[in-house]
Amino acid sequence: MSKPRKGTKTLNAVDGLSAALPVLFAALSLVYIWFIQPGENNGLKALILTIVIAISFASNIAHRDRLQDIGLRLDNLWLSAREVGIATILMAVVVIGIGIIA
């Protein structure tokens, strides 16, 4: 077996898994939407949804993502709330108002 050239990276099983997970996630999501959701088999629905959610977590683990890397952090909560809070409250009032009138 020859050594890899300098500056090239060899792929290991984790790299292959982390590359395959988004494709598997998209494929299962489409299969669920097109074929399983319209059906009556609730057990199959629960199984596929559980697998899709597990793929999301597995992808984060395979990529060694931290909570901060995927946007789950609290240090920017107040800044974000200040930036979009007023617009969110106004739109909620509009939606509720339309719901009451209609």
DSSP 27-95: HHHHHIIIIITTSS-HHHHHHHHHHHHHHHHHHHHHTT--TTTTT--STTHHHHHHHHHHHHHHHHHHH
Would you put residue 73 in left (φ > 0), alpha (ψ -120 to 50) or beta?
Answer: beta
The encoded tokens of residue 99 equal 């719901």
Are 44 and 83 found together in one domain?
A: no
Residue 81 backbone dihedrals phi, psi, to 5 degrees: -60, -40
Are 56 and 16 found together in one domain?
A: yes
The encoded tokens of residue 15 equal 């790299």
Q: Is residue 4 part of a domain?
A: no
pTM (two decimals): 0.55
Tens-binned pLDDT, residue by residue, of the chain (102 aa): 556 566 656 556 566 777 888 889 899 999 999 998 888 889 999 999 999 999 888 888 888 889 888 888 888 888 888 889 999 999 999 999 999 998
Q: Is residue 100 part of a domain?
A: yes
Residue-range definition of the domain harbouring residue 33: 12-65
Are 37 and 80 found together in one domain?
A: no
Number of domains in the chain: 2
